[in-house]
Amino acid sequence: MRNARGFTLVELIVVMVIFMTVIMISASAFEKILFQSGHLVKSSQAQIEEVVGLEILRRDLEHVGYGLPWSFQNSFTTPYTEVDVSTDTPVDGIDAESFNDTPPSIPRAVVLGTSATTGKIINGSADTNPGVDYLVAKSINVSMSPAAQRLAYVNYSGNELSNKSFIVTKNAQDDIVDGDRVISVATSFSSTMGDDRQLLMNGTNFFYVANGSTPPSDAFKPTGKEQRVDVYGVDHDTDLRMPYNRADYYIKRPASGMNPRCNVGTGILYKSVVEQGDYTGSTGYIDYPLLDCVGDMQVVFELDTSGIDYGGTMTYVDGLASLSAQDIREQLRTIRVYLLTHEGRKDTSFSYPVSDPNKAIVVGNPNITSTGRVWKQSDMTTVFGADWRNYRWKVHEIAVKPRNLYQKQ
């Protein structure tokens, strides 16, 4: 034991330096692993949100025009108002009432805001992103109400003395139930296309309250075997302000509740359903957030101007203001929505690649520059900040062929 030697001070210091170096390297690697893990978790979460939100939007656009009347009866004496709200509701810089279709105008299945100041993402005159599209979809089932997913029909049953027609149910989940506010739309098989799908009414009301034990009044029944009357549930327990539902889609950054991982220039993609009934004292909309961290939305329509013949050259436009409801039914083939978003949070170790400063990001079809939006690098810096390249930007494209407009037979 007298000859046993310990460690010298120099040896201990060397060992400690080596040990500390290993710990520092390991800590740095562990920190990177944690950061990458967090980024992957956030990215996975964002991708799940994208799938859900984009699927809702895709479904709504696929069903634009569902249940809309193509004509009104001459006895229609109760014009309705789709939206009656204050300025800058639901989003700054937009007049939501400008998208209304009020009788005698037939409701258009889809409308787009095209103003140069459309779509302020951040409220206030100083922080805006002009040029973001504002999309309006009209159909029965664009509402989240269960009643809006229900459908039935009234089959003609009668004789020379009485009309005994009643709502036919199928004992299925989508049957009309008592208390549903419903409309009747008649299709006359012998009429021309322009006269098909006529909204029935009794002179003062265009809807009635479904009651399984009480047949609808004659005004809402077929007049003979040459007619078929479809019955659509629009809402439940709430008297209707219009004979269909409407939803507005836009981007807005709320005053609070924004996901902290989102770039400061981005907002939330909302679906806002117009309330039925008298919405005095409320905003007039029921808001549903669909997608976080959205910096732009551009909508492009593919039109076949040959109309119902389905043989013309496709035309790509970013607005439908010049088209009537019938024009839209006959010409609209595809709706394309482009959304600029980013995955995960800011990553200082990442730099978004830019090959052309004048075309940093294209929100639209790169081959059709007359539609959509081209973001210059300077524009990205102005709207999304000097650190915008530290985000993983991506452009989602949704291409939808509406299923409820006029189809060639």
**Is pLDDT at 228 greater than 80 in this prediction?**
yes
Q: What is the pLDDT of residue 309?
A: 60
**Is pLDDT at 127 greater than 50 in this prediction?**
no
The pLDDT tens digits of the residues spanning 23-64 come to: 777 766 666 665 555 555 555 455 555 678 899 999 999 999
Task: Phi first, then psi: give them for residue 84, nearest 5 degrees.
Answer: -135, 85
d(CA 75, CA 318): 36
Q: Which helix (H) or strand (E) holds 232?
A: strand 227-236
Q: What is the pLDDT of residue 126?
A: 40
Radius of gyration of the chain (CA): 29
- CB burial of residue 24 (10 Å; 0-12, 13-18, 19+): exposed
The pLDDT tens digits of the residues spanning 173-205 come to: 889 999 999 999 998 765 444 457 899 998 889
d(CA 244, CA 241): 9
Q: Which helix (H) or strand (E) holds 328?
A: helix 325-331
d(CA 61, CA 54): 11
Task: Phi first, then psi: give them for residue 235, nearest 5 degrees.
Answer: -155, 175
Q: What is the pLDDT of residue 394?
A: 94
Q: What is the pLDDT of residue 99?
A: 93
Q: Report the predicted TM-score, pTM, of the whole model to 2 decimal places.
A: 0.84
d(CA 233, CA 207): 10
**Is pLDDT at 233 greater than 70 in this prediction?**
yes
- CB burial of residue 199 (10 Å; 0-12, 13-18, 19+): buried
- Burial letters for 102-125: b for 16+ Cβ neighbours within 10 Å, e otherwise? ebeebbbbbbbbeeeebbbbbbee
Q: What is the pLDDT of residue 38?
A: 57
d(CA 227, CA 188): 5
Report the Cα 296 to chain-centroid distance in Å: 14
Q: What is the mean pLDDT of residues 118-129?
A: 46
